[in-house]
C-alpha cells in the first residue's frame, strides 16, 4: 500500500481545478463563456473563478447561506459566478423568478441533483421530461383534498403521541431538544398515511433510518460544493463517499421493508376478501403506495419494482424531513413569543372549546392565525433553502438573456429576507400574512414550496400535517423556549439542518373544568357579557337623573326602549373596526344631524351640525374628554390628551411655546433631512424590485424619526430599522383600546386585564414605556454632557424659543420639582410621541396615495414646487412652505377625506344648550370629522378629491369654521397642528421634488378602520420613479 500525503491531495485538487476551469473556458460556446461580461459577475477572470471555487469547496455548510447572502447584497438581484467551470446565476428578483419557474421548458433540475441518483434514482424529485410528467400526473391524485381528509385520522393519532412524549420528556421542569421527537413523529405520519403502513418510529423503531438520512444529506452537500468530489471514483474512495454508501444501504433496506410490508398487507386483504368496494371508493381511499403497486400490477411495462422504490425513497425523505424541520422551528418561535403562542391558542380554543376531538379539514381551514405562524416560520427558515435549474433553452429575464446549460440558483432563504418584500425581514411577524398587503405580494416572492409546474406536489399535505401537529400541542401544552432567535444556527444541506437550537420546556396546559353547575364553561363565558349589559342598562335607567334618562324622548333616538339598547350594544360590540364609520354614517343619514343612543347604560349624542359643534367646541366648561379616553390612562396617564381641569390648562399653557412659529422654523432642518431619507428609501425600494410598494411603514418610520429629533431632541434612526417594535406596539395598543371602547364587557378593568385584548395591551405599553424612558434618558445624557463641556450658557438651555418640547419639561423639573415629576414628563412624552408621529404618518401616506391616483393634481403640485425651488436641491424654508398654496390645498383635501382622528368625544359637565335641544350633564357627545367632512351641505361632491375647493375664495368664505375640523377646534384643538402641517408639506414636497408617483389602484382600494387614529386596513401599492 502506498501512503497518500496531504500535500499530494492538495496538488491534485489544484491541478483538477485549473484543468476544469481552463477546459470550460476553451470548449464552451461563446455566449456561455461571455456570460460574465454582461451580467454582474464575481468570476470575470480565471483567477477569480479558481479563488471562488476554492472558497466554496472549503466553506462549511453553515457558512454557505451567509456567503450567498453576501453575494446578493454586494452584486444585486442577478449575480453570475463560475464554480469550477460550471456557469451559475443567482436570481433574487420575483419577476425574474416568475419567468423561470412558470416556464414549462426549463423544468430540468441541475447537475447537482444527479448526485442524489444513487439514492433516489429517477424519482419525482430528479426525473425530467415525459417520465416526470407522466409520474407527476399519476401521483397528483394521492394529494387530492379528499385523500388528505382520509389521512387526518393517522396524523391526529401520531400528533397525540408526540404531545405525550414531549410532556413525558419534560418531567421535572426539564428543557429538551425537540428535533428528534418531531422527526420520528413525522416519519410515523408519512409511513402511516402516504405509505399505508405503521413503523412505530416514535417508539424508537426507526432511529437508524433518521441518522442515515442526516449522514447522506451531509455527504451530498460536501460533494455539491467540493469540486474534486464531482468525480465518481474520487467520491467513492473519500470518507464522505464511504459514509454516503454505507448510509444508503440502510435507507434502501428501510424502503424495501416498507414496500414488502405493504405488499403483504394488500395480499392478505385480497385473500381474506375483507371488503368489496366500488371503483369510486377505491379511488378515494388509495394511498400513494397503493397507487404505485396498482400501476405495477396493471401496467408492468410502465412501472417496475425499481420505479416503486425510487418514488418511495423520494417521498419518505421529502415527506418527513422537510415537515419535521418546519414544525421544530415553529415551536421554537412560539416558545420565544408568548403573545403569539397565546393568540394561536385562543384561536384554537375558539374552534374546539373544551372538546378533545380530532382536528378536521374544516378546523384546519379556520386556523388563520396558526397558518400565518407556519408561513412566517417557512419564510424565515424554508425547509429547502435552495433550488437549482439547468436551463435547456435561452432564458429571457427582465434585463438579461441567459444561455442554455447555465445553472440557475434560487435561494428562498435569501429571497424571503428582501426588505422590499418583507419590511424588517429578520423579525418574526406572523401578522404580515394576515395583512391585506400580503394578498397583493408577488407570489414568486414567497417560495417555501417552490412554484410553477415543479412546485412541491405535497405542499397541502405538509401544511395539513404541520398545522395538525402544532394545534394538538397547543391544545395540550404550554411551552417556553430557553434562549433567543440568535441561538438558532442552521446550515444549508439538501434541506436546512439545525446545527444548534434552543431547548424547549413543556408544561401540561391547565384545563378549565368542563362544566359548572351543568353549564358548559364557554356558555357561561358567553352569558357574562350579556348579563353585564342587562345590569348596566337597568341600573342606568333606574339610578341616573330623570333628564338624563329621558334624553331619548326629546332627541331623535335609536334606543327608546330597553331592548333597543341591548340590541345596539351587541351590534356595536360585534362589529369590526372597519365597519364602525359606515355604521355611524348610516345612523346620521337615517336620523339627521343629531342622534341619541345608549350603549350599555351610557348615554351618547352624535352631533354633525356645524352650529351645534361651534357651541360645543367653543365652550370652555365642557372640555373634558369622553370616558373612552380614560381607557388610555395606563398608557398616557394624565398627559395633555387625557387630562382635564387646572392640570390640563397649566400644561397646555406651558407647552404652547414649543409650537411657536420661531420654534417651528428651528425644526425644519431635521424635517428636511429625514424627508430626504424617506424619498431615497422609497426610490430604492421601487427600483430594487421595479414594482409597486406598500409605503405605510416607510412613512411611519420617517415620521417617528422627525418627532424624536425635533420635539424630543434625540435621534433614533427609525428609518434604519431601529424602532420597528415601537411602531408595532402602537398599532397593537390602539387596536386593544378600540376593542375595549366598543366591547362594553371590557369596560371593567379586571375583565379587560385578563382578556386576550388586555394582555396584548399591557404587553404593548411596556414596549412603549421602555421606548419613552430611553428617549428621556438619552436626552438627559445629552444635556448633562453639554453642561459638562460648558456648551450651554448660564441661562439653562438657551433662549426660550430654541427649547424643544422635552427641554422645557426637563427644565421645569429642575427648577420646579413640585410642579413637574418624572412621571409627568413620561406621560407627556408618551402622548406627543404617539400623537405626533401616528397622525401625521397616516395623513402623509394617504396624501401621497391620492397624488399617485390623480396625476393632474400631482403635476400641478410639482409645477408649483418647481416655481419655488427651480432645479435647486436646497432645504424647504418657512417662506417656501408659506408659498406652497396648492400643496397645502392637497393636504387639506386629503385631511378632509381622511382625517387622522376620525372621531372624538366630550363628556358634558354642564347642560349643553344646542340650537334645538338641551343635552344634560354626564352625556357623552360624539364628533366625527370623517362624517362631518362628507356633508353635502358643507362640501359639494364630498366623495371627490378636489384640492381646488381650498383655493376658491368664494368656497372658502362660505365654509363654516366648524365644518372642517381635522385638528378639532376651540379650546382643545390640536396643539401641534401648525407643526403637523409643516411636517406634511416638507415631506410631501420633498418626495414630489425627487420622484414621480404612480399607482394602479383607486379610492375603492383604500380600506380603513376606526381606531384612535384612522388605521389603513389595505391600500393600493405605489411605484416611484426618479425625476431626472
For the cut 50, the answer to whether the pLDDT of residue 740 exceeds it is: yes
Q: Check whether 88 is labelled as a binding-site residue.
A: no
Q: Which residues neighbour 443 within 8 Å (Cβ) at sequence distance 6 or greater?
A: 98, 451
Helix axes 46-58, 61-75, angle to 10 degrees: 140
pLDDT of residue 29: 58
Confidence class of residue 3 from pLDDT cuts 50, 70 and 90?
A: very low
Q: Which residue has the cell 364628533?
A: 927
Backbone φ and ψ of 448, nearest 5°: -70, -20
Least confident among 71-75, 231-235, 697-701, 944-948: 231-235
As a whole number, mean pLDDT of residues 209-226 equals 80
Q: Which three cell numbers stand for residue 27?
A: 470548449
pLDDT of residue 513: 47
Domain boundaries, the chain: 114-272+279-508, 515-574, 608-1026
Return the DSSP state at 122.
Answer: T
Least confident among 660-664, 847-851, 990-994: 660-664
Confidence class of residue 139 from pLDDT cuts 50, 70 and 90?
A: confident
For the cut 90, the answer to whether the pLDDT of residue 1016 exceeds it is: no
Confidence class of residue 275 from pLDDT cuts 50, 70 and 90?
A: very low
What kind of fold does domain 114-272+279-508 have according to CATH? Cytochrome p450 (1.10.630)
Reported as a single tens digit per residue, the pLDDT across 454-469 is 888 889 989 999 999 9
DSSP per position, 293-334: HHHHHH-TTT--HHHHHHHHHHHHHHHHHHHHHHHHHHHHHH
For the cut 90, the answer to whether the pLDDT of residue 989 exceeds it is: yes
Q: What angle do CA 418, 420, 421 make, to 5 degrees?
A: 70
Percent of the chain with pLDDT over 70: 88
Reported as a single tens digit per residue, the pLDDT across 695-727 is 988 999 999 999 988 888 888 888 887 777 788
As a whole number, mean pLDDT of residues 846-862 equals 97
CATH number of the structural domain 608-1026: 1.10.630.10
Q: Where are the beta strands (DSSP E) in 746-855?
A: none
Q: Which three cell numbers stand for residue 920?
A: 344634560
pLDDT of residue 947: 97
Helix axes 855-869, 822-853, angle to 10 degrees: 110
For the cut 90, the answer to whether the pLDDT of residue 166 exceeds it is: yes
Reported as a single tens digit per residue, the pLDDT across 616-641 is 999 888 899 999 999 999 999 998 88
Q: For residues 925 and 604, what is the distance between their CA atoms, to the nearest angstrom?
A: 6
Q: Output 774 or 326, whichever has higher pLDDT.
A: 326
Of the ranges 34-48, 205-219, 446-460, 974-988, which is most confident? Answer: 974-988
Helix axes 855-869, 977-994, angle to 10 degrees: 90
Q: Which residue has the cell 362631518?
A: 932
Q: What angle do CA 677, 680, 685 make, to 5 degrees?
A: 125
Q: What are the residues facing 389 on neighbouring strands?
A: 109, 408
As a whole number, mean pLDDT of residues 55-84 equals 88
As a whole number, mean pLDDT of residues 10-34 equals 58
Backbone φ and ψ of 886, nearest 5°: -75, -40
Contact call for residues 402 and 89 (beta carbons, < 8 A): yes
Q: For residues 585 and 577, what is the distance between their CA atoms, to the nearest angstrom?
A: 14
Q: What SS3 class is residue 285?
A: helix
pLDDT of residue 668: 92
Q: For residues 705 and 707, what is the distance between their CA atoms, to the nearest angstrom?
A: 6
Q: In Å, how far are 56, 243, 246 from 239, measured between CA atoms?
A: 19, 6, 11
Alpha helices in 898-976 (DSSP H): 929-932, 953-958
Among 915, 906, 324, which Cα is nearest to 619's?
Answer: 906
As a whole number, mean pLDDT of residues 573-588 equals 88
Q: Which residues neighbour 763 within 8 Å (Cβ) at sequence distance 6 or greater?
A: 339, 732
Residue 973: CB atoms within 10 A of its CB come to 12
For the cut 80, the answer to whether the pLDDT of residue 993 exceeds it is: yes
Q: Output 800 or 130, whichever has higher pLDDT.
A: 130
For 239, the enclosing helix (H) or strand (E) is helix 239-271
pLDDT of residue 791: 55
Least confident among 21-30, 544-553, 658-667, 875-884: 21-30
Please indicate whether the domains covering 114-272+279-508 and 608-1026 agree at the CATH topology level. Answer: yes
Of the ranges 174-183, 433-442, 482-491, 860-869, which is most confident? Answer: 860-869
Q: For residues 974 and 849, what is the distance between their CA atoms, to the nearest angstrom?
A: 24
Q: Which residues neighbour 495 within 8 Å (Cβ) at sequence distance 6 or greater?
A: 217, 321, 322, 325, 383, 384, 385
Q: For residues 627 and 926, what is the distance between their CA atoms, to the nearest angstrom?
A: 11
Residue 563: CB atoms within 10 A of its CB come to 10
Q: What are the residues facing 806 on neighbouring strands?
A: none
pLDDT of residue 796: 39
Contact call for residues 997 and 692 (beta carbons, < 8 A): no
| Overall size of the chain counted in residues | 1028
Q: For residues 604 and 557, what is the distance between their CA atoms, to the nearest angstrom?
A: 10
Q: For residues 124 and 863, what is the distance between their CA atoms, to the nearest angstrom?
A: 60
Q: Output 533 or 632, whichever has higher pLDDT.
A: 632
Contact call for residues 898 and 1007 (beta carbons, < 8 A): no
What does pLDDT average to over the chain? 84
As a whole number, mean pLDDT of residues 352-374 equals 89
Q: State CA 409 to chain mean position distance.
A: 26
For the cut 90, the answer to whether the pLDDT of residue 653 exceeds it is: no
Q: For residues 229 and 112, what is the distance between their CA atoms, to the nearest angstrom?
A: 12
Backbone φ and ψ of 602, nearest 5°: -100, 130
Q: What are the residues facing 1014 on neighbouring strands?
A: 1010
Backbone φ and ψ of 175, nearest 5°: -90, 135
pLDDT of residue 847: 97
DSSP per position, 629-684: GGGGHHHHTT-TTT--HHHHHHHHHHHHGGG-HHHHHHHHHHHHHHHHHHHHHHHH
Reported as a single tens digit per residue, the pLDDT across 36-52 is 678 899 988 777 887 88
Q: Which residues neighbour 837 within 8 Å (Cβ) at sequence distance 6 or greater?
A: 700, 703, 704, 706, 707
Q: What SS3 class is residue 918?
A: strand
Q: For residues 1009 and 1014, what is the distance between their CA atoms, to the nearest angstrom?
A: 6
Q: Which three cell numbers stand for residue 339?
A: 403573545
Reported as a single tens digit per residue, the pLDDT across 466-510 is 999 999 999 999 999 998 888 999 988 888 888 899 999 999 986
Burial of 463 (0-12, 13-18, 19+ CB in 10 A): buried
For the cut 80, the answer to whether the pLDDT of residue 163 exceeds it is: yes
Amino acid at each position: 500500500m502506498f501512503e497518500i500525503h496531504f500535500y499530494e491531495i492538495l496538488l491534485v485538487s489544484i491541478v483538477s481545478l485549473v484543468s476544469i476551469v481552463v477546459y470550460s473556458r476553451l470548449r464552451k460556446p461563446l455566449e456561455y463563456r461571455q456570460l460574465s461580461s454582461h451580467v454582474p459577475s464575481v468570476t470575470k477572470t480565471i483567477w477569480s473563478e479558481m479563488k471562488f471555487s476554492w472558497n466554496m469547496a472549503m466553506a462549511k455548510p453553515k457558512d454557505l447561506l451567509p456567503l450567498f447572502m453576501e453575494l446578493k447584497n454586494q452584486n444585486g438581484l442577478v449575480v453570475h459566478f463560475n464554480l469550477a467551470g460550471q456557469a451559475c446565476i443567482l436570481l433574487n428578483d420575483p419577476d425574474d423568478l416568475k419567468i423561470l419557474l412558470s416556464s414549462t421548458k426549463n423544468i430540468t433540475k441541475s447537475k447537482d441533483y444527479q448526485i442524489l441518483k444513487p439514492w433516489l434514482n429517477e424519482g419525482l424529485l430528479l426525473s425530467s421530461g415525459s417520465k416526470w410528467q407522466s409520474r407527476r400526473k399519476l401521483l397528483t391524485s394521492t394529494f387530492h383534498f379528499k385523500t388528505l381528509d382520509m389521512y387526518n385520522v393517522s396524523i391526529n393519532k401520531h400528533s397525540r403521541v408526540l404531545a405525550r412524549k414531549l410532556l413525558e420528556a419534560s418531567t421535572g421542569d426539564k428543557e429538551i431538544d425537540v428535533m428528534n421527537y418531531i422527526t420520528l413523529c413525522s416519519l410515523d405520519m408519512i409511513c402511516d398515511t402516504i405509505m399505508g403502513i405503521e413503523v412505530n418510529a416514535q417508539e424508537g423503531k426507526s432511529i437508524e433510518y433518521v441518522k442515515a438520512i442526516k449522514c447522506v444529506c451531509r455527504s451530498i452537500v460536501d460533494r455539491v460544493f467540493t469540486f474534486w468530489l464531482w468525480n465518481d471514483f474520487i467520491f467513492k474512495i473519500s470518507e464522505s463517499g464511504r459514509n454516503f454508501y454505507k448510509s444508503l444501504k440502510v435507507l434502501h433496506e428501510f424502503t424495501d421493508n416498507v414496500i414488502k410490508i405493504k405488499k403483504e398487507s394488500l395480499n392478505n386483504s385480497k385473500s381474506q376478501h375483507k371488503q368489496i368496494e366500488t371503483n369510486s371508493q377505491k379511488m378515494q381511499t388509495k394511498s400513494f403506495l397503493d397507487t404505485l403497486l396498482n400501476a405495477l400490477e396493471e401496467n408492468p411495462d410502465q412501472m417496475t419494482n425499481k420505479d416503486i422504490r425510487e418514488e418511495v425513497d423520494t417521498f419518505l425523505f421529502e415527506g418527513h424531513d422537510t415537515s419535521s424541520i418546519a414544525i421544530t422551528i415553529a415551536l421554537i418561535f412560539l416558545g420565544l413569543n408568548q403573545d403569539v403562542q397565546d393568540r394561536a391558542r385562543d384561536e384554537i380554543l375558539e374552534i374546539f372549546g373544551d372538546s378533545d376531538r380530532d382536528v378536521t379539514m374544516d378546523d384546519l381551514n379556520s386556523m388563520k392565525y396558526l397558518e400565518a405562524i407556519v408561513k412566517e416560520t417557512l419564510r424565515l427558515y424554508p425547509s429547502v433553502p435552495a433550488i437549482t435549474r439547468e436551463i435547456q433553452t435561452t432564458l429571457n429575464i427582465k434585463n438579461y438573456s441567459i444561455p442554455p446549460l447555465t445553472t440557475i440558483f434560487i435561494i428562498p432563504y435569501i429571497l424571503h429576507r428582501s426588505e422590499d418584500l418583507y419590511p424588517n425581514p429578520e423579525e418574526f411577524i406572523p401578522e404580515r400574512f394576515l395583512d391585506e398587503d400580503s394578498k397583493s405580494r408577488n407570489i414568486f416572492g414567497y417560495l417555501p414550496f417552490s412554484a410553477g409546474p415543479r412546485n412541491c406536489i405535497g405542499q397541502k399535505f405538509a401544511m395539513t400535517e404541520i398545522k395538525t401537529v402544532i394545534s394538538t400541542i397547543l391544545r395540550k401544552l404550554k411551552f417556553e423556549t430557553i434562549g433567543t432567535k440568535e441561538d438558532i444556527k442552521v446550515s444549508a444541506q439538501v434541506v436546512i439542518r439545525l446545527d444548534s437550537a434552543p431547548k424547549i420546556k413543556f408544561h401540561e396546559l391547565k384545563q378549565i373544568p368542563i362544566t359548572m353547575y351543568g353549564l358548559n364553561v364557554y356558555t357561561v363565558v358567553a352569558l357574562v357579557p350579556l348579563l353585564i349589559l342587562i345590569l348596566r342598562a337597568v341600573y342606568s335607567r333606574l339610578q341616573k337623573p330623570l333628564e338624563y334618562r329621558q334624553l331619548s324622548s326629546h332627541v331623535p333616538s335609536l334606543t327608546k326602549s330597553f331592548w333597543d339598547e341591548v340590541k345596539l350594544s351587541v351590534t356595536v360590540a360585534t362589529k369590526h373596526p372597519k365597519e364602525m364609520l359606515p355604521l355611524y354614517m348610516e345612523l346620521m343619514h337615517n336620523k339627521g344631524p343629531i342622534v341619541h343612543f345608549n350603549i350599555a347604560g351610557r348615554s351618547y349624542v352624535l352631533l354633525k351640525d356645524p352650529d351645534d359643534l361651534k357651541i360645543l367646541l367653543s365652550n370652555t366648561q365642557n372640555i373634558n374628554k369622553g370616558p373612552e379616553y380614560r381607557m388610555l390612562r395606563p398608557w398616557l396617564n394624565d398627559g395633555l390628551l387625557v387630562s382635564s381641569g387646572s392640570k390640563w390648562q397649566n400644561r397646555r399653557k406651558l407647552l404652547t411655546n414649543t409650537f411657536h412659529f420661531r420654534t417651528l422654523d428651528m425644526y425644519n432642518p431635521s424635517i428636511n433631512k429625514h424627508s430626504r431619507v424617506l424619498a431615497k428609501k422609497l426610490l430604492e425600494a421601487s427600483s430594487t424590485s421595479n414594482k409597486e410598494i406598500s409605503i405605510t411603514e416607510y412613512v411611519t418610520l420617517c415620521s417617528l424619526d422627525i418627532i424624536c429629533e425635533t420635539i424630543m431632541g434625540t435621534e433614533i434612526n427609525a428609518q434604519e430599522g431601529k424602532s420597528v417594535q415601537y411602531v408595532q406596539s402602537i398599532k397593537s395598543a390602539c387596536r386593544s383600546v378600540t376593542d375595549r371602547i366598543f366591547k362594553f364587557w371590557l369596560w371593567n378593568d379586571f375583565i379587560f386585564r385578563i382578556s386576550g385584548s388586555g394582555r396584548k395591551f399591557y404587553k404593548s405599553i411596556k414596549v412603549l414605556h421602555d421606548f419613552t424612558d430611553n428617549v428621556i434618558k438619552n436626552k438627559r445624557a445629552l444635556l448633562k454632557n453639554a453642561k459638562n463641556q460648558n456648551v450651554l450658557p448660564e441661562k439653562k438651555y438657551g433662549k426660550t424659543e430654541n427649547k424643544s418640547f422635552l427641554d422645557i419639561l426637563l427644565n421645569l423639573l429642575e427648577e420646579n420639582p413640585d410642579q413637574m415629576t418624572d412621571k409627568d414628563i413620561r406621560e407627556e412624552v408618551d402622548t406627543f410621541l404617539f400623537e405626533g408621529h401616528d397622525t401625521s404618518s397616516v395623513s402623509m401616506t394617504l396624501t401621497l396615495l391620492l397624488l399617485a391616483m390623480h396625476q393632474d393634481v400631482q403635476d400641478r403640485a410639482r409645477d408649483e414646487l418647481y416655481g419655488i425651488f427651480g432645479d435647486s436641491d436646497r432645504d424647504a424654508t418657512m417662506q417656501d412652505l408659506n408659498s406652497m398654496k396648492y400643496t397645502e390645498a392637497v393636504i387639506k383635501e386629503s385631511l378632509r377625506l381622511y382625517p387622522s382622528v376620525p372621531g372624538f368625544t366630550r363628556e358634558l359637565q354642564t347642560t349643553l344648550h344646542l340650537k334645538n335641544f338641551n343635552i344634560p350633564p354626564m352625556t357623552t357627545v360624539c364628533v366625527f370629522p370623517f362624517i362631518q367632512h362628507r356633508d353635502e351641505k358643507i362640501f359639494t361632491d364630498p366623495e371627490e378629491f378636489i384640492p381646488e375647493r381650498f383655493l376658491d375664495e368664494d368656497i372658502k368664505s362660505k365654509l363654516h369654521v366648524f365644518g372642517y375640523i381635522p385638528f378639532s377646534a376651540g379650546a382643545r384643538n390640536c396643539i401641534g397642528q401648525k407643526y403637523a402641517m409643516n411636517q406634511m408639506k416638507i415631506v410631501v414636497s420633498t418626495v414630489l421634488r425627487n420622484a414621480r408617483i404612480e399607482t394602479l389602484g383607486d379610492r375603492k382600494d383604500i380600506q380603513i378602520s376606526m381606531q384612535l387614529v384612522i388605521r389603513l386596513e389595505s391600500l393600493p401599492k405605489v411605484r416611484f420613479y426618479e425625476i431626472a
